């Protein structure tokens, strides 16, 4: 992989792994929780384990287990789970500037490895001044370290889950994990407004069948967030226009 | 069997979301409103799952405010998440609070 002239590729690859390492502190407990709740939801150990490589998206996998446990119909389950990963279109959009020239197999591999964390880490590298022809190896490194930790921690969760007694309320780890993801992202009013709207809608629409309230509430949150940031933007431009 | 099919379908759609803009099939840019809307997808979907997981009883499916131990645990977890931004600290603090409250009763 790193023959001859590709010494730069090796150092980019290793830098990707090194830059990605601190983030694994958040990835590993998330993976363990997934492994545990996967079994609790009634999935087999094999289904739980392979979901981590087939889907490879933390939050969406936990959403899958929750919907599966409550007997959600196939179409709604697949739609809701995939909706959680829609944001990845944005990552691809940003990354395509740096990756479009690569051969197809590289773009497929890096597309598969493009998660929140790998995007965050490697985008930092891509926007640095000293760009190189081997920069994509950085994303390969940050993507692979995350992928490996995700598979291993899922396995730990699958093995450790059944040893934990029922009264430890492990299911409660699901909202807690999501709190850990959501709270740091609430940096601007539109984000907070989107969360509050979607949370309120989720309580109001509880009566809907097939867990449809998740997707309906999410749409309410997305509209609330988008509309409020539009309004704030136009208000800001108005104040700027004043003499 | 249907579970495997669901995993594979969701997997394909997720990969499509990641690969779409890296393929040469897509235009280089998306409408601004769509890019903006996508930024609100994670917080909206995840909050829609968090809130009922705290306030709705898993047994009866009704709203519970009084004697709901999960509210206290969630508040502590939110505070910990806000100040530490750490997944480990958030999960462990929330679980410890709910264990303490449960055994206290």
Residue B19 CB burial class (10 angstroms; 0-12, 13-18, ≥19): buried
CA distance B33 to A229: 10
What is the per-residue pLDDT for A54?
Answer: 96
What residues form DSSP beta bridges with B56? B63
Residue A203 in contact with residue B56, Cβ under 8 Å? yes
Give me the mean pLDDT over the B49-76 stretch: 88
Q: What is the pLDDT of residues A67-111, one digit of tens each?
A: 999 888 999 999 989 988 888 887 888 888 888 889 999 999 999
Residue A199 in contact with residue B48, Cβ under 8 Å? yes
A201 pLDDT above the threshold of 90: yes
**Percentage of chain A lying above the pLDDT 90 cut:** 47
All residues of chain B having their beta carbon less than 8 Å from the beta carbon of residue A178 are 46-47, 49-50
CB of A231 within 8 Å of any CB in chain B?
no
Average pLDDT of chain A is 87
Match 């409660």 to its residue by tokens: A172
Nearest CA in chain A to B54: A175
A4 pLDDT above the threshold of 50: no
A189 pLDDT above the threshold of 80: yes
Q: Kindly indicate the confidence band of residue A132, based on its pLDDT and cuts at 50, 70 and 90.
A: confident
- Which one, of A231, A201, A233, A206, lies nearest residue A218 by Cα? A201
ipTM summary value: 0.87
Structure tokens at B65: 């405010």
Give me the mean pLDDT over the A192-202 stretch: 96
Nearest CA in chain A to B33: A226
**E-state strands within chain A:** none
Give me the mean pLDDT over the B26-42 stretch: 80
Domain extents in chain B: 1-30, 40-104
Give me the mean pLDDT over the B60-88 stretch: 89
Residues 69 to 88 of A: which have CB under 8 A from any B CB? 74, 77-78, 80-88
Nearest to B48 among A78, A217, A230 (CB): A217
Structure tokens at B49: 């799952």
What is the per-residue pLDDT for A171?
Answer: 77
CB of B87 within 8 Å of any CB in chain A?
yes
Instruction: Determine the distance from the C-alpha atom of residue A204 to the mean position of all C-alpha atoms in its chain, rounded to a whole number.
Output: 27
Residue A211 in contact with residue A67, Cβ under 8 Å? yes
CB of B75 within 8 Å of any CB in chain A?
no
CA-to-CA separations, A138 to A26, A115, B56, B76, in angstroms, rounded: 20, 14, 44, 37
């Amino acid at each position: 992989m790193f023959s001859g002239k590709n010494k730069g590729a090796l150092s980019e690859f290793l830098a990707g792994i090194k830059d990605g390492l601190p983030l694994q502190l958040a990835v590993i407990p998330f993976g363990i929780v997934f492994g545990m709740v996967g079994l609790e939801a009634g999935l087999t150990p094999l289904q739980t384990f392979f979901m981590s490589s087939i889907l490879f998206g933390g939050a969406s996998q936990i959403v899958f287990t929750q919907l599966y446990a409550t007997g959600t119909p196939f179409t709604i389950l697949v739609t809701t789970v995939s909706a959680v990963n829609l944001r990845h279109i944005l990552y691809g959009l940003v990354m395509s500037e740096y990756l479009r020239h690569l051969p197809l197999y590289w773009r497929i591999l890096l597309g598969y490895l493009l998660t929140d964390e790998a995007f965050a880490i490697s985008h930092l590298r891509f926007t640095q001044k000293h760009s190189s022809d081997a920069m994509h190896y950085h994303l390969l490194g940050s993507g692979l370290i995350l992928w490996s930790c995700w598979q291993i921690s899922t396995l730990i969760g699958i093995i450790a889950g059944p040893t934990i007694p029922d009264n430890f309320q492990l299911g409660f780890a699901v909202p807690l994990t999501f709190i850990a993801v959501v709270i740091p992202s609430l940096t601007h009013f539109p984000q907070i407004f989107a969360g509050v709207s979607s949370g309120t809608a989720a309580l109001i629409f509880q009566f809907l069948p097939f867990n449809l309230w998740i997707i309906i509430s999410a749409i309410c949150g997305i509209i609330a967030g988008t509309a409020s940031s539009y309004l704030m933007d136009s208000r800001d431009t108005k104040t700027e226009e004043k003499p | 069997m249907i579970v495997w099919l669901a995993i594979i379908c969701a997997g394909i759609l997720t990969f499509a979301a990641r690969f779409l803009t890296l393929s040469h099939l897509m235009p280089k840019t998306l409408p601004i409103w769509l890019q903006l809307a996508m930024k609100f997808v994670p917080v909206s979907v995840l909050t829609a799952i968090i809130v009922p997981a705290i306030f709705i009883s898993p047994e009866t499916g009704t709203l519970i405010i009084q004697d709901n131990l999960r509210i206290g645990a969630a508040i502590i977890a939110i505070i910990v998440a806000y100040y530490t931004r750490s997944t480990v600290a958030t999960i462990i603090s929330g679980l410890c609070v709910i264990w303490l409250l449960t055994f206290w009763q």
